[in-house]
Amino acid sequence: MGVRDLTLFAVIFGSAGLAVVAPVAGEAFQPLLLYFMMLLLFLSFLKIDFRALLGASPAALLRLSYLTAIKLIVLPAILYGASLWIMPDYAIPVLLLSGVSTGVVAPFMATLVEADSAIVLRMVIVTSLLVPFSLPGMVKLLAGAEITIPLDTMIRMLALVIFVPLAGVAIVRRMCPGWLETLTRLQYPISLVIFGIINLGVFSKYSGFIFQNPLQLAVAVAVAYVLSVAYYFTGFVAAPDASRSEKLAMGVSMAIMNNVLIIVFASEFFGPLSPTLAAMYMFPFFTMIVPVKLIRDHTGWLEPRKKHDLS
């Protein structure tokens, strides 16, 4: 990990710790979390080229549909069912985290492990467009008996968070292209500030719960790592005949998600455990890149499956 990663860790966990110890520091931000999340996504979408789908071949689009179904429907459902059986308290937190879109930083993470960035970029685009509808639908379908939140309320909230920043990026690109370079240059420091503000707002809200249940943090970190392994493994085995770079791309697409969106979304509708798990996923979010690189370089596991000659 580089200086930027360490700085991000310091901001994320420093702000979370401050909010837990001194919740008054984040109380003013609690009503504004939605808007800070929108600003964060606006900055992240600046680097995403949504024309990447236009040149995709039919075969690439078919694989994209297959991977999207796994990411937004199949994997969340399986992990929810497993959690309901093993750790019922974590079932909804796991469903929320597993069902969110591929992260906007995933293309960058793909370059770190020499993955096929085109696959990851397409997953970012498609899952971002679908998640306002898929995630509330999955929650309602699988956990509807346990919650009373109307489906349309969740859809409106996620659609607002996703589509307004997308529209803002489109407007800036068309009407103020000169701003793009400046905004891109300032993206990282501004994003760090927003990360800190979001954490202050979220964790100050649940300070009492976290302060009185420190064991929950350790359990949440452990669950986060187990989930990360499950996400990467699913991506690696999703297409046995794929090349090594394609398998890496599929793993990154499953494991690098918009967990900060879940921190905000869950804090609006669900109890403290859901945003806590999403926040603790920051640990495997970055550190799992190291074992993925080791798997890439020192095993043959990611090599495409050999086709047997039947002649």
For the segment 165-219, what is each residue's pLDDT rounded down to a tens digit?
889 988 988 888 788 788 888 888 888 888 888 888 888 887 877 777 788 888 9
**Do the domain assignments include residue 132?**
yes
pLDDT at 30 over 80: yes
Residue 98 to residue 75: CA distance in whole angstroms: 7
Q: Do residues 138 and 72 lie in contact, with contact meaning Cβ atoms separated by under 8 Å?
A: yes
**Do the domain assignments include residue 214?**
no
**What pLDDT, on the 0 to 100 scale, is given for residue 285?**
84
**What pLDDT, on the 0 to 100 scale, is given for residue 20?**
83
pLDDT at 163 over 70: yes
pTM for the structure as a whole: 0.84
pLDDT tens-digit readout, 99-126 = 999 988 888 788 888 888 889 989 998 9
Give 114's Cβ-side CA count (13 Å radius).
10
- Provide the number of structural domains found in the chain: 1
pLDDT at 259 over 90: no
**Do the domain assignments include residue 67?**
yes
Q: Please classify residue 182 by burial: count the beta carbons closer than 10 Å to its beta carbon, then call 0-12 exposed, 13-18 middle and 19+ buried.
A: exposed
CATH number of 239's domain: 1.20.1530.20
Q: What proportion of the chain, given as a percentage, has pLDDT over 90?
A: 28
Residue 87 DSSP symbol: -
**Do the domain assignments include residue 160?**
yes
Domain range spanning residue 138? Answer: 34-184+231-272+284-298
**Do the domain assignments include residue 311?**
no
pLDDT at 51 over 80: no
**Do the domain assignments include residue 165?**
yes
Give 256's Cβ-side CA count (13 Å radius).
28
